[in-house]
Amino acid sequence: MKSHPQKEFEQALLKRIASSGRYKLYQDAFRTATGLPLRLVDADPDGWCLDDQKVNRSPFCEALNLCEAACAACVETNRRLMKEAEVSGPASCHCFAGLRSTAVPVKLGASVIGFLKTGQVFSQLPTEKQFEAILGSLGRKTLNAKQQKTLKNAYLHTRHVEPERYRSMVTLLEIFGEQLSADAESLSIIEEGSEPRAIAKARKYIHKNLDRPLSLGEVAHQAGLSESHFCRLFRNCAGLTLTDYVNRCRIDWAKRELLKPEKRISEIAFTVGYQSLSQFNRSFARIVGQSPTIYRRQCLAKAAS
């Protein structure tokens, strides 16, 4: 789990991106050109929910949100989608009702700070027969006649997009996600609120160089401060020493890499910047509370269930 100061920094950065002219211009253009919704959401999967951004949103999704069981299933689908995108990059999936959704990660260095999300469309024209099957999975007895009629009308009026055309739309979103990631790098060094420019520059440098050794003198030099001054200022702002902050960033990265079964743990250790496997194992156990092997086994078992 990320430290609170680090998470707060990333959330503040995401809000600045969401309020930027570039994002708002692209959001409007994407919505108009594709007819799809577009949101920029926090990287915390537990924070997913419908919000006040209703432009192009599926009426069926809105109707489902009134059904407790369906809403829970929808939240779980999105949680899995965002986890997959965090590990493997842009990802798409279908919910239990057949609607397709996509998440494209926005990064600051090696850290995922948010996702561009779109979708809520069918791959083919929805039919009454398909709706009857969905209604059966929801449980007819839990819905009165009025609720069933509302759901059916919303279902049949949700748009569909052919798979090839949808993939082209997602490609546009991936390109924009890369641009926003570059914007995150730039915005992270602009002083705002209590984050001094020197510390913002240090964070940017750390995230870009996590895969190699980072000394106090090197990072302090990038911040333009003496080592002693940098240590005091960094701890006040980040709530952690430089060493602890770097270790937590590396472990966050390693947790995503561990969800790739083909990668050896020793390979991951060196990828994320540790100089030895034993050093990586100690840091991982101290921060996560269990060994990398156990963490991987539990996560992969949960994903397969």
Unique residue bearing structure tokens 């949100």: 65
Place of tokens 């002693």: 228
* Cβ–Cβ < 8 Å for 205, 219: yes
- Short-list 82, 162, 110, CA closest to 6: 110
| Lowest-pLDDT choice from 42-46, 99-103, 147-151, 178-182 | 42-46
Residues 65-96 pLDDT 10s: 765 556 677 777 888 888 888 888 899 998 88
Mean pLDDT for the chain overall: 85
Res 111: pLDDT = 79
Q: 78 and 45 in contact (C-beta within 8 Å)?
A: yes
Cβ(158)–Cβ(121) below 8 Å:
yes
Give the number of other Cβ atoms within 10 Å of residue 203's Cβ.
Answer: 26
pLDDT at position 191 over 50: no
Calculate helix-pair angle for 128-138, 145-156, nearest 10 degrees.
130
pLDDT of residue 194: 54
CA distance 100 to 123: 7
How many helices (H) and strands (E) in the chain? 14, 4
pLDDT of residue 60: 84
Q: What digits encode the pLDDT tens for the residues 138-166?
A: 766 677 888 888 888 988 988 899 999 99
State both tokens at 94: 């279908």
DSSP letters spanning 22-52: HHHHHHHHHHHHH----EEEES-GGG----S
What whole-number distance in Å separates Cα of residue 122 and Cα of residue 136?
19
> How far is 101 from 37, CA to CA, in rounded Å?
10
Roughly how many angstroms between the first and final C-alpha of the chain, as a whole number? 23
Report helix, strand or coil for 301: helix
Say which residue the tokens 């590396």 belong to: 250
**What pLDDT score does 3 carry?**
53
The answer on pLDDT for 204 being more than 70 is: yes
Range list of β-strands (E), the chain: 39-42, 91-94, 100-108, 111-121
Structure tokens given for 210: 């996590």
pLDDT at 266: 96
Residue 185: pLDDT above 90?
A: no
Residue 235's pLDDT band (cuts 50, 70, 90): confident
SS3 call for 160: strand
pLDDT cut 70: percent of the chain above it = 87
Q: Which residue has the higher pLDDT, 49 or 173?
A: 173
pLDDT at res. 44 = 67
What element of type H or E holds 287?
helix 277-288
| Contact residues for 45 (Cβ-Cβ < 8 A; gap 6+) | 78, 79, 82, 83
Which pLDDT tens digit goes with each residue over 31-61? 999 999 999 988 765 545 556 677 888 888 8
107 beta partners: 112
